[in-house]
Structure 1
Amino acid sequence: MAGHHHQQGASSAPLHLLVFPWLAFGHLIPFLELSKRLAARGHFVTFVSTPRNVARLPPVPAGLSGRVRIVALPLPAVDGLPEGAESTADLPPDKVELLKAAFDGLAAPFAEIFAAACSGDGSGEQAEFGRRPDWIVLDFAHYWLCAIAEQHQVPCAMFGIFTGSALAYVGSRRENISHPRVSVDDFMPMPTWFPSPSSLSFRRQEAAWMSAGFRPNASGVSDIERVWRTEERCRLLLFRSCPEVEPLVFPLLADIYRKPVVPAGLLLPEDGRPDGGDHDDDSADIIRSGALHWLDEQPPGSVLYVALGSEAPVTVEGVHELAAGLELSEARFLWALRLPSGGGAASEATGAPSPPLLPDGFEARTRGRGAVCTGWVPQVMVLAHAAVGAFLTHCGWGSVTESLRFGHPLVMLPFITDQGLIARIMADRGVGVEVARRDDGAFSRDDVAEAVRRVMVEQEGKTLALNARRLRELVVGDDGGRQERYVDELVECFRRHSFNDSALRN
């Protein structure tokens, strides 16, 4: 990490930041990456989560461990939430709202230890958080936390791990009152306050998913209401993005939300560190050598890496169509295959045998040009491998940013949240091709094969690859330091907007 040249000025005392992500690995990992970068600049970070999530985090590098303190708050029990389920990865999608209800139960224990940290003088090491924090960096879900912080006059910053375009699409409470969206149709185009190309829109079933976020769930508070209540009391909005990827968004967001909107950069992970999830080191080593060893045998740039993230709601039918499409395309592929979420549990409940995950004989027929890994795969190391020429992805922002760093063109198969929007942004930048889909979101093997061939075989693929490399140069910069400079600017922003030099806002 480019930490060594960031010397603290004598006048600028190190900051203490309390960092608290939502309980999903797609949130925990970027928050941890931000924490490591702040620690590399000499600042102190208290990272808060629940015990099981803390146990599953990749270790903080030894050189930084003295400046990153990890605090585990036990998650309260909630009726219907399975015991030991502490992240969205532990649950089928319909149970996530119960996780939000449990999460809201952390308000009282958090308030108690936060008060202790703020009343202490920082000398008592027994205090959970050490000295009083200068800032709290929180997530979309923490609408109850700003009130606790305000009692102790500690400012909050909301860190969005999604694109700026997604937050522009949500819009402020004020914009939504002036331009209400009611039907699913209303949620398909980008809103009137976001002047954008018409290609930037949601498909019907993506829009249905987005509009659901505006309705209350089992936790009693809708996701969008969480965003608004949190955002309204934060001094800064931070994003895991940058103007190179989303050129028009930052000035527009400052206008919509009427406060500073700061790019944190893409926070790209270092090469080859695990991306969370359960795995012990022995099995990780075996799988690591397996996937990478297989890639070593393939010609440069010839392999399509296929990974739909850990939580894409793919059905067994979807997996079968994807497999058949890969087979039809005749491209080489390395597929990091995860079990469909909640699929197994449903079958157990009915007593019916669960259908086989891959089509009959698929692995035998594709042997030699295809490999399927069902364990943990070191995604960053795979994307960095010379044999990989393109990436078939669900368009989760974490995966897309990792791919941008290596300049790979994309075959795009988005499912939920802002993935459709990310796919359209990348298509607009000329770095990817989306798999065609029906209105209900279903896709066929022919759609998969066609998109794969366009990227891997046809002339169009060369243009996409060139555009992807250009975007990589733009994003990473010549010396690789451009993304690190966003973190330096973010630290300056924390100093400029902290309470000690300006009166309380609001």
Structure 2
Amino acid sequence: MVELAKLLVHRHSTLVISLVIITSPSTATAAVTRYADSLAAAATPRKDDGGGQPSPAANFTPMIESHKPRIREAVSAELARSGARLAGFVLDMLCTSMLDLAEEFGAPSYIYFTSGAAFLRFQLHVQESHDEEGFDVTELKEAELACPGLTRPVPSKVIPSGFLNKEWVALVYTITRNFRKTKGILVNTVRELESYALESLSRGKNIPKVYPVGPILNLKGEKSRREDDETIEWLDQQPESSVVFLCFGSMGAFRGEQVREIASALEGSGHRFLWSLRRPGEGGPWASPTDYEDVREVLPEGFLDRTAEVGRVMGWVPQAAVLAHKSIGGFVSHCGWNSTLESVWFGVPMATWPMYAEQQFNAFLLVEELEIATEVRMDYRSESEEVVSAEELERGIRSLMEDCSRKGRMKGFSDLVRGALTDGGSSSSSIAEFIGDVSNNDL
């Protein structure tokens, strides 16, 4: 959201953007706040902190609702202080209950959808099918679901877990209905990457205007630490496109048995590797992973010694900086959308190992639709605690590193994505269109 704000004010200097950050019960809140602060400090937007203590309510919507008085006060104070005209609200894709607050101020609302256009079309289609035809996605079982944003049906095994749970999908329906009440949806994607889905969105019933404004990425990353410098120095010594990079996002971590299977696969594949290995967090499924004090405690005995010449095992790594390095030849990824866009930006082919949220859907998109990834698994779910065998992972690594067809295709998409934000590019034009629309509201 901060990167989007920076992009908008860079393009239109008379825009003033205030960021309201809602804290949550998540253990990652402090880290998120520090990250947002570090980005905002170097940008033009001002930040009003709408935080405070989160609601004790367990339900997500009441937690969001509890912050309305603070946000109402923050917006009123900012308008009184600046004397500016309120052009609109841009809402996080999960905070659509704030729509009525925007209406109080007589301002239009927009959604910033941080996943891809195909998943947005899928979400809208499932909600529409439920409301108009009584379709129950939780009963899909082993069948497939035709989705207007994809060229082929979606197998039930890659439908996000939240859609298969009756309690959670009810919340999804509510959020998605609210999408349709907005004036527009900004999507972190590129027209050339997801043209089919975007065309489907433009033809959909009661779907607001969609602005593909991506890729919105923070490619500079956090300030380098000593061990990160050492990682890049090690990569400097490796041949071009020779290293497979394994990294599973901010919440990606495995238990001991799975770690040993990964180690066995890497050793068996014979390929050079850089592995971001993290300890699962304590205190529940959404507890943030931490770095091991000594990775030897979880790795097979002698693994580090046997692979010392070809591999490196780290904790947290600067993912964008690693993907940018010429020695990286493949990326075993959890398929989070930001990681996907980073991989496309740098032209690095992927192997799919999704964990949660919409990552299974993204894996299907990458493997079956865009054909820029190979499959380790498309239907893996972190809550299942299933162990992926060394043999299965080794096959995926070999396919990723030894099949050149995906690399050429990924390079083509990389060139298109990089061109989208240049003057006259598709995303640059879409951003200009959005700025024009929001600037002319109520004029």
Name the CA shift for 1:445/1:193 in 2 (closer, same or farther; >3 Å).
closer
- Of 61, 73, 95, the match for 1:112: 73
Deviations 1:237-283 (A, max 9, x none): 1101122111111132231443211111211333x322xxxxxx5xx
Deviations 1:448-471 (A, max 9, x none): 0001011213xxx21111111111
Deviations 1:310-337 (A, max 9, x none): 1136444333322222222121111122
Name the CA shift for 1:305/1:191 in 2 (closer, same or farther; >3 Å).
same
What does residue range 413-432 of structure 1 map to in structure 2 within 5 Å? 413-428=353-368, 429-432=370-373
In the other structure, the counterpart of 1:377 is: 317
Deviation at 1:292, TM superposition (A): 0.5
Deviations 1:63-94 (A, max 9, x none): x63x21122122434448xxxxxxxxxxxxxx
Deviations 1:473-494 (A, max 9, x none): 22223x9617965244324234
Deviation at 1:385, TM superposition (A): 0.8
**Alignment-mate amino acid for residue 365 of structure 1:** R
Deviation at 1:444, TM superposition (A): 1.0
Q: Which moved more, 1:481-490 or 1:420-429?
A: 481-490
Taking the aligned partners of 1:243 and 1:331, their CA distance within structure 2 comes to 35
**Alignment-mate amino acid for residue 412 of structure 2:** R
- Of 155, 160, 178, the match for 2:108: 155
In the other structure, the counterpart of 1:386 is: 326
Is 2:62 aligned against 1:60? no
Deviation at 1:55, TM superposition (A): 2.4
Name the CA shift for 1:379/1:484 in 2 (closer, same or farther; >3 Å).
farther
What does residue range 132-171 of structure 1 map to in structure 2 within 5 Å? 132-171=85-124
Taking the aligned partners of 2:81 and 2:55, their CA distance within structure 1 comes to 36
Q: Which moved more, 1:70-79 or 1:466-475?
A: 70-79
The SS at the match of 1:141 is: coil
Deviations 1:143-200 (A, max 9, x none): 3311111111111101100011112111254432223343645277664452633364
The SS at the match of 1:298 is: coil
- Of 51, 71, 74, the match for 1:74: 51
Taking the aligned partners of 1:69 and 1:498, their CA distance within structure 2 comes to 18
Is 2:3 aligned against 1:33? yes
Unaligned runs of 5+ in 1: 1-30, 81-96, 124-130, 275-280, 348-354
Asked if the contact 1:238–1:264 (Cα under 8 Å) also holds between the matched residues in 2, the reply is yes
Asked if the contact 1:159–1:239 (Cα under 8 Å) also holds between the matched residues in 2, the reply is yes
The SS at the match of 1:228 is: helix
Asked if the contact 1:266–1:483 (Cα under 8 Å) also holds between the matched residues in 2, the reply is no
Name the CA shift for 1:240/1:202 in 2 (closer, same or farther; >3 Å).
farther
In the other structure, the counterpart of 1:13 is: none
Asked if the contact 1:395–1:419 (Cα under 8 Å) also holds between the matched residues in 2, the reply is yes
Taking the aligned partners of 1:199 and 1:403, their CA distance within structure 2 comes to 25
Deviation at 1:404, TM superposition (A): 0.5
The SS at the match of 1:416 is: coil
Is 2:217 aligned against 1:268? yes
**Alignment-mate amino acid for residue 308 of structure 1:** F
Asked if the contact 2:274–2:313 (Cα under 8 Å) also holds between the matched residues in 1, the reply is yes
Taking the aligned partners of 1:264 and 1:438, their CA distance within structure 2 comes to 29
Asked if the contact 2:214–2:421 (Cα under 8 Å) also holds between the matched residues in 1, the reply is no
Name the CA shift for 1:480/1:302 in 2 (closer, same or farther; >3 Å).
farther
In the other structure, the counterpart of 1:243 is: 191
Is 2:300 aligned against 1:359? yes
Taking the aligned partners of 1:388 and 1:329, their CA distance within structure 2 comes to 16
Name the CA shift for 1:35/1:438 in 2 (closer, same or farther; >3 Å).
closer
Name the CA shift for 1:452/1:393 in 2 (closer, same or farther; >3 Å).
same
In the other structure, the counterpart of 2:167 is: 215
**Alignment-mate amino acid for residue 148 of structure 2:** F
The SS at the match of 1:360 is: coil
Instruction: State the number of aligned residues.
Output: 420
- Of 472, 475, 493, the match for 2:417: 475
Name the CA shift for 1:332/1:419 in 2 (closer, same or farther; >3 Å).
same
**Alignment-mate amino acid for residue 309 of structure 1:** G
Asked if the contact 2:360–2:378 (Cα under 8 Å) also holds between the matched residues in 1, the reply is no
Taking the aligned partners of 1:193 and 1:336, their CA distance within structure 2 comes to 35
Taking the aligned partners of 1:345 and 1:475, their CA distance within structure 2 comes to 34
Q: Which moved more, 1:286-295 or 1:313-322?
A: 313-322
In the other structure, the counterpart of 1:197 is: 151
The SS at the match of 2:47 is: strand
TM-score, normalised by the number of residues in structure 2:
0.84
Asked if the contact 2:354–2:363 (Cα under 8 Å) also holds between the matched residues in 1, the reply is yes
Name the CA shift for 1:162/1:330 in 2 (closer, same or farther; >3 Å).
same
Is 2:421 aligned against 1:451? no
- Of 175, 180, 186, the match for 1:226: 175
- Of 355, 367, 376, the match for 1:435: 376
In the other structure, the counterpart of 1:49 is: 21
Asked if the contact 1:164–1:250 (Cα under 8 Å) also holds between the matched residues in 2, the reply is yes
The SS at the match of 1:391 is: strand
In the other structure, the counterpart of 2:291 is: none
Name the CA shift for 1:142/1:207 in 2 (closer, same or farther; >3 Å).
closer
In the other structure, the counterpart of 2:249 is: 309
Deviation at 1:434, TM superposition (A): 0.8
* CA RMSD between the two structures: 3.2
Taking the aligned partners of 1:188 and 1:260, their CA distance within structure 2 comes to 34
Same amino acid, percent of matched pairs: 22
The SS at the match of 2:164 is: helix
**Alignment-mate amino acid for residue 179 of structure 1:** E
Deviation at 1:356, TM superposition (A): 4.4
Taking the aligned partners of 2:440 and 2:379, their CA distance within structure 1 comes to 52
**Alignment-mate amino acid for residue 242 of structure 1:** V
Taking the aligned partners of 1:483 and 1:362, their CA distance within structure 2 comes to 51
**Alignment-mate amino acid for residue 176 of structure 1:** H
Is 2:82 aligned against 1:122? yes
Unaligned runs of 5+ in 2: 24-29, 288-295
Asked if the contact 1:427–1:434 (Cα under 8 Å) also holds between the matched residues in 2, the reply is yes
